[in-house]
Structure 1
Amino acid sequence: MERIEHRASSGGWQDVYRHRSGVLGCDMTVGVYLPPQAGRGPCPVLYWLSGLTCNEQNFITKAGAQRYAAEHGIILVAPDTSPRGDDVADDAAYDLGKGAGFYVNATREPWAKHYRMYDYVVDELPAWVEANLPATDARAVSGHSMGGHGALVIALRNPGRYRSVSAFSPIVAPSQVPWGAKAFDAYLGDDREAWKQYDAVELVKGARETLPLLVDQGDADEFLAEQLRPDLLRAACEATGHPLQLRMQPGYDHSYYFIASFIGEHVAHHARALKQTS
C-alpha cells in the first residue's frame, strides 16, 4: 500500500493509493476521500464505480462529491475500472479491455487471467479498505454508465452487503445492448445464460432483497436509446414489485456535468441508509 496523492479538500483529504491486487494480478490505484470526521473515528463508505475509459481520477476530479461526503461524514472510495499493466490483455477499442472491465469475472482467454473486477470490488477492495483505513463495514455503492451497471449488479447479487445503491445513466440490460453484448461475448463467451448474472434487469426478477434502486438518467443522453434503456429496468421492477426511483432529468447528457448536478442528492440518499443502525 502506497499513498501517491494527498490533497486537502473540504476539510478532509483526497488521497490516491496504489496497492497490489492478488485477485487481478496487478497493481491497482484507488481514490480515497477521507472526510474530517475520519480523524475522530471510523466512518461508513460509499464505493463509486466509474464508466468506460475512466480511471480513479475522473470521479475524484470532476464530480465535486467531496464537499457532500464531508457534510455527511462518509468515506468515498473510487477504484480504477480495470486491471492495468503491460502484461494485461487489451483491445484497441475503447469499450473492451483496459478501462472497460465491466465489473465481471472473465472466463475466456486472454481476459480470464486478470479481468476479475467483480471479485475485486465485492471482496478484495472492501477488505483492503476496512483493514487499512478508518472505515466501518457499513457500505453503499454507486456508479455511472458501465459503473452504474456494476453498482446495480453488485448490490442485487449481494443481499445484506450494502445499505444502499444508486446509479447515474446505468447500462441496465447489458445482455440486450451493443456495449454489453460485445463485452460479455469477449469476457464470458456466447452462453447467454452466463450473461444473466451480470444483468440488472435479469437479476431484479429473482432478487432476494428489495433494496430500493435510485437511478438518475438524463433525457438528452446521447446513449439513452441504444445503450442504456432504463425503460427495461422500469418494466422489470414494475413486474416484480422491486422498489425503483427512476428520475428522468430533462436536458442532461451523459457527462460529469450531469453527475456533478445531482451527486449531492445521491450522497444524501446513501448517508440516510448508512447512518441507520443495523
Structure 2
Amino acid sequence: MKPLNTLLKSALLSATLVTTGYSLPVAAQSYPPAVQQLIDRGVSIKGTFDAPGGMIGYVGDMQGRGVAFYLTPDKEHVVVGPMLDEKGNNLTEPKIQELVLGPQNENAWRQLEDADWVRDGDADAPVVIYTFTDPNCPYCHRFRQAAEPWIDTGRVQLRHILVGILKQDSLPKAATIIGTENPSAALAENQQSYSEGGIEVDRQIVSDHAKQIQANNKLMSSLGLSATPSTYYRNSNGNVLKKQGAPRPDELEEIMGSKMP
C-alpha cells in the first residue's frame, strides 16, 4: 500500500469540487482536525465555499498546484477528489483558477515583464507569450519550430526568458545570446544551428552577463517550474495560463491565440 502522503499528494493535485460561493480565510483561522491534517501535509488554504449536502468546500495550494476538497457535515471527514455534475462536467475548476492559479499566474506575468528576456518576432505583434528557454533544450527548439507560422505572419512575439539548466554550456550559451549587440539575431542563430551545437560561446560576454542568466534561473525556480519550455500566455478571456513542457499540437492554437496561418 502506498504511504498516506503519497496518496494524498496524488489525489490533491487533481482534486476538484462544485462550488456555490466562497470566502477568503481569516488570518489565524482555526480549522477542524480533518482539514488541519491536510494543512500539516503542505496544503495552504486560499478560500472556503458552500458545497452541496451541507458540506464546506476548501480551495488551496499544494506545491504551486490548485487543489479542492470538502468537509462533511459532521466535520470529522474530508473527501478529496473530483465532483462532477450529471453530465460529467468538472464544476470546480473555474474556482481553482479564480482563487489559486489565476492570482499566481498574474503575479508571475508581472515578474516576467520585468525580467531579462529576448524578443523573437515583431515588436508590434498583438500576442505576447513568455517562455523559459534553455539553448540546449530540444523541446524548446521544437516549440519554436511549431510557433514559426504565427511569428512569421506577425501575429505572435515570443519573449524568451533564457536560462541555463540542462547542460554545462547552457548558461554560457544563454549569456552569450543575451549579451550580444543583437540578442534576437543571436537567438535565431542558435535556433538555426541547433543540430550543429548551437551558438558559439563568447567567454568575455559570458563573464559580463552570466548574472542575468543566473537571475532568470532563480526566477524560474521561484515560480515552481521544473521543465523547459515553460510558457505563460493569455487565453481569449484575458486570463494568464501556464504550460510546462512542449505544448501538444492541439494546444498550440489556444496558446498562440488564433488558428494556424
For this structure pair, what is the TM-score category when the shorter chain's length is used for normalisation?
under 0.3
TM-score (norm: length of structure 1):
0.25
TM-score computed with the length of structure 2 as normaliser = 0.26
